[in-house]
A and B are shown apart, each in its own frame.
Chain A
Amino acid sequence: MPRSQVGRDTDRVDGRLKVTGAAEYSGDYRAADLAHAHLVTSTIARGTITSIDPAAALASPGVLRVYAAPESRLALYEVTGQAAGFTENYLPLKSDVVRFHGQAVAMVVAETPEQARDAAALVTVTYDAQPPRTSIADEPHVPAGPTISGAPSSLEILAPGVGSIDAALAASDVVVEAEFHQNVQHHVGMEPHAILAVWDGDQVTIHAGAQIPGPYALAMAQRLGILPQSVRLITRYVGGGFGARVVLWSDTPLAAAAARELGRPVRLVLTREQMFTLTGHRSHLTQTVRLGASRQGVLNAVSHRSVAERPTTIAFTMTPAHSTSDALYRTPNLHVDAQVAVLDIPGSRAMRGPNEAPGAFALETAMDELAVATGVDPVTLRLRNQATAHPATGLPWSSKHLDECYRLGAERFGWAGRSATPRTRVDGQWLYGTGMATAIYPAHRRAGVVARVRLLDDDTAVVSTATSDLGTGSATMVAISGADALGIPVQRVTPEIGDTLLPPGAPAVGSSGTHATVPMVVDAARNVIAELKRLAVTADRSPWHGAAVEDLRYERGILHGLGHSLTFGRLLTTIGSPGIYKESAPGGQPVPGYVHHSFGAHFCEVRVNRFTGETRVTRFTTVADVGRVINAKAARSQLVGGVIFGIGHALLEENHLELDTGRLASSTLADYLVPVNADVPDIDVVMLDRPDPVLTGPLGDGSEDVGTGSLGARGLGEIGTVGSAAAIGNAVYNATGIRVRDVPITLDKLIDHL
């Protein structure tokens, strides 16, 4: 009797392909008569192109085309409507306008990748440059506008009789005010963006890494001026997303338009350097948090303001207080406000925990400062201020076990023995300290997701939905959910994802893939089981021919009834059917009246070298409340990876925007530092595994034919990243007595104060 794999450790279904090098990423596909493209990028941030000389490149061996802005041969069109939210607002190579440093200004296509790259270096470009707008401090600030989910970027809630947030703060016993800065951060997926475009008449097949396959293909169709059904996007293996593969950037349309114009398949692979300007980044950011509280640390006022960049080429609203300061703590007076400054900077967009990671760094650092100011233990302080209703809307949570995260985390970590006084733990040249912080991330159900379940005559099943597996383990999640729903072993379920020919799948963004997919898999399984029963009573050769559907019960892959028992494969074989399939209904919105978040608590220990200021993370414990866990193994890996993203945020990652040129100073992995193995201790991650009874629909009571064990899940791709940087910063304060509000916490910010 198979037991459900839900919540257990399951090896990835694609693990074997990945460890043998057999998994094919976008740049691994080939086509007959393939031509290779290479981009030339701008060396100014704002202005116009006055000339591009392609002669030397054209004379270079193997060169087929040099496309140069403004280019008339490439047919590219505006993207409008909903799809416009998933792409940039200019047509690449179509005009002489330069909007940012590192924009594509020419593209060489040649017979080999080396010939294209070599010739691209021979293209000379002259510009009429204008001074770029580069300072978020000096450029005019304008309201950020609503968030992607439609929430206002500015909000003020005041207690009766309170005139303003400033008045509420002034009336508080203890006030903490702190300003936070962070520089540009990059996603740095290990796979550089790669595109293969192959046309067949007016149909194009695109191999490219995409987090939201459906809208990506839709935007692509509009960009190319063709019907949506003329674009097939294949995105089976993706070398990391983290937000950089949400948007249809300039690379994919250029490759596809060149392939169409040239009449040959074209492959374009960005260099690592080009990845830093052409595929998005996390905006640099200034935040001000003000907390007003009683002497016992009970919050009376929370104010969280931010200023982020607004590139001219793409709309993205950075609202760091969203789902952090407007959601985390109970307060009678709340004020959040997000402003942006229009800059001539490469497009910025969501990066893992887009608002919440920087927002929680600011809020949770300020909370630590409040703990210091009031003398209340940081965990006690948070429990004392825990919200039981969502502060901005007053709605209850569908499921919230944050208090348990704090208590269990504190116990596992050994928080109790902590000294609140900085610089009290010294071991040789190292100062030791501990810190903690809260994690929170919204859980949005995504509408329109469809899954298809197919039962085959060999007693296996295929579960299909056009979501994307960026390394999250979503393919394995689909298999586990399908296996649980059908009551058969995971090994008998084949997941099919990453292809827009499949039913529309969940976006692999916003920690939503799992909770958007699971209910649709269950629904499709329910439908196909009903279809199986219908066939069983209507098919001529079925032993149940003529019986009533109510006489049959499906259990663990077997139909029972009236003294007969047949596996679905056996029944299909008996009646001569190779297989049957059914789709789910399209996913809807969650039931109204609730807010949905995942929660967590981070605890960490750092040591700081007394002489050099070098900071090392030595211990880390995270307890996460993420609803039902589908695959404990992959879930733990993703949470651990999220925490390590936080180590990068806290200690390593930043790119400086040069104010006079608008150039991002770092463009390689030697000068944009991400965590490596030696930066990372073992990380203790625990998941509470408390199913969310509301988000994905009723959890079921076992009376149905279909298994509902995978319902109640919430996504967890980002929760590990939210708050982890603050926990590290707070530990650095505990170790050294130095409060660094400008991340990353590099040794130069510590050494003069040690």
Chain B
Amino acid sequence: MNQEHDAGPGRSGVSRRNFLGGGLVAAAVTPLLTGQAEAKAAAAPTVDGVAQVTVRAAVNGSPVTVRVDPRATLLDTLRERLDLKGTKKGCDRGQCGACTVHVDGRRVLSCLTLAATTTGREVTTIEGLADGDRLHPMQQAFVEHDGLQCGFCTPGQIMSAVAMVDDEGGADSDDEIRERMSGNICRCSAYPRIVDAIRDAQQVMR
């Protein structure tokens, strides 16, 4: 994981200083964004009359600087500005879990997270989970157990499951997996196979 995390704030919520685009910014920030969006943002401190905020975060291990509308969600910023489209918008109001990503290792709903609150934090999306060509054990288990059908909720399911194991210590029973994965809706209803996948992946991850 990115070493910049050490310079960032603790994991206990979002500080006002961070939200205001302030001081606890990681060192060695390299703008990843080029082209039109970045040029516009650099030229205009306000867009449509709204003062933009600068977000400096580590996204999938790489430092990212992006100016966004303070109202922009992390989900829309990932998808529309950073071209990370693996994170899905299923409802845009925190009811389906398809947009689940990690912020400092915790699972969050990116549709209910303002991008501006992620400065100094590590954001991990489904694109950042595999180690090159080697799938994360959770991804591998979802393929092997067929824990997916249409695949649209799958990035959210996997991000949720990884954090459930890594960040929250995992589940001791199938029923506990079911309970703790119930924020992620799968209309194809791969649920039993998702439970199988998580049970197996948890063994490898622990």
Contact = CB atoms under 8 A, between A and B. Distances in A.
A73 interface: no
Interface residues of B, number: 63
B126 A21 contact: yes
B92 A471 contact: no
A641 interface: yes
A64 interface: no
B189 A189 contact: no
A238 B192 CA distance: 22
Nearest to B87: A21
Contacts of B83: 30
Nearest to B176: A678
A262 B149 CA distance: 37
A374 B100 CA distance: 53
B188 A240 contact: yes
Interface in A661-709: 668-670, 674-683
Interface in A436-493: 470-473
Contacts of A24: 85
A61 interface: yes
B91 A22 contact: no
B96 A190 contact: yes
A677 B187 CA distance: 10
B69 A190 contact: no
Contact of A239 (B127, B151, B177, B184): B151
Nearest to A14: B151
A191 interface: yes
Interface stretch (B8-16, B19-27, B51-59, B153-161): B153-161
B89 A27 contact: yes
Interface string B193-205: 1110000000000
B123 interface: no
A28 B143 contact: no
A288 interface: no
A23 interface: yes
A678 B146 contact: no
Contact of B146 (A27, A189, A637): A637
Interface in B162-206: 174-175, 177-179, 181-195
Interface string B94-110: 01101000000000000
Contacts of A269: 89
A240 B152 contact: yes
A190 B153 contact: yes
A19 B143 contact: yes
A115 B48 contact: yes
Nearest to A186: B187
Pick from B135, B188, B189 the residue with the most CB of A within 10 Å.
B189
B152 A669 contact: no
B33 to A, nearest CB: 15
Contacts of A65: none
Given A677-B194, A680-B189, A113 B148 contact: no
A237 B149 CA distance: 11
A18 B148 contact: yes
A19 B76 CA distance: 20
Nearest to A640: B192
B139 A682 contact: no
A747 to B, nearest CB: 18
Contacts of B92: 271-272
A190 B98 CA distance: 8
B83 to A, nearest CB: 8
A191 B152 contact: yes
Contacts of B184: 676-677
Interface residues of A, number: 64
Contact of B135 (A20, A192, A470): A20
B181 A114 contact: no
What secondary structure prevails in chain A residues at the interface with B?
loop
A678 B85 contact: no
Given A12-B146, A188-B187, A678-B178, A23 B151 contact: yes
A116 to B, nearest CB: 12
Nearest to A469: B150
B61 interface: no
Nearest to B198: A677
A249 to B, nearest CB: 18
A323 to B, nearest CB: 23
B155 to A, nearest CB: 5
Nearest to B69: A114
A637 B187 contact: no
Interface string A1-17: 00000000001101111
Given A192-B90, A669-B91, A12 B189 contact: no
Given A62-B48, A471-B149, A637 B130 contact: no
A219 to B, nearest CB: 23
B80 interface: yes
A190 B187 contact: yes
A405 B150 CA distance: 28
Contacts of B188: 190, 240, 471, 637, 641
Nearest to B142: A19
A190 B152 contact: yes
A634 interface: yes
B152 A239 contact: yes
B93 interface: yes
A189 B150 CA distance: 9
B128 to A, nearest CB: 9
A28 B90 contact: no
A112 interface: yes
B149 A637 contact: yes
A114 B187 contact: no
B64 interface: no
Contacts of B143: 11-12, 15-16, 19
A98 interface: no
Contact of B148 (A19, A272, A681): A19
A180 interface: no
Interface string A162-189: 0000000000000000000000000111
B95 A113 contact: no
A676 B150 contact: no
Nearest to B72: A114
A41 to B, nearest CB: 16
Interface string A236-252: 01111110000000000
Contact of A674 (B88, B98, B155, B185): B185
A576 B80 CA distance: 46
B154 A633 contact: no
A680 B179 CA distance: 10
B178 A19 contact: no
A19 B139 contact: yes
Contacts of B86: 20-22
A638 to B, nearest CB: 7
B88 A191 contact: yes
Contacts of B85: 21, 24, 28
Contact of A15 (B88, B90, B148, B179): B148
Nearest to B125: A21
B146 A20 contact: no
A397 interface: no
A272 B181 contact: no
A678 B182 contact: yes
Contacts of B87: 21
Contacts of B41: none
A668 B95 contact: yes
A241 B144 CA distance: 23
Contacts of A17: 151
Nearest to A275: B91
Given A676-B183, A682-B192, 11 more contacts: A16-B135, A16-B143, A190-B88, A190-B90, A192-B90, A239-B88, A240-B149, A471-B148, A675-B189, A677-B184, A681-B192
Interface of A: 11-12, 14-25, 27-28, 30, 61-62, 112-115, 187-192, 237-242, 269, 271-272, 470-473, 633-634, 636-638, 640-641, 644-645, 668-670, 674-683
10 contacts: A15-B142, A21-B87, A61-B49, A113-B80, A189-B152, A470-B149, A637-B193, A674-B185, A676-B191, A678-B178
The 3 A-B pairs of least Cβ separation, nearest first, read A21-B86, A471-B150, A239-B152
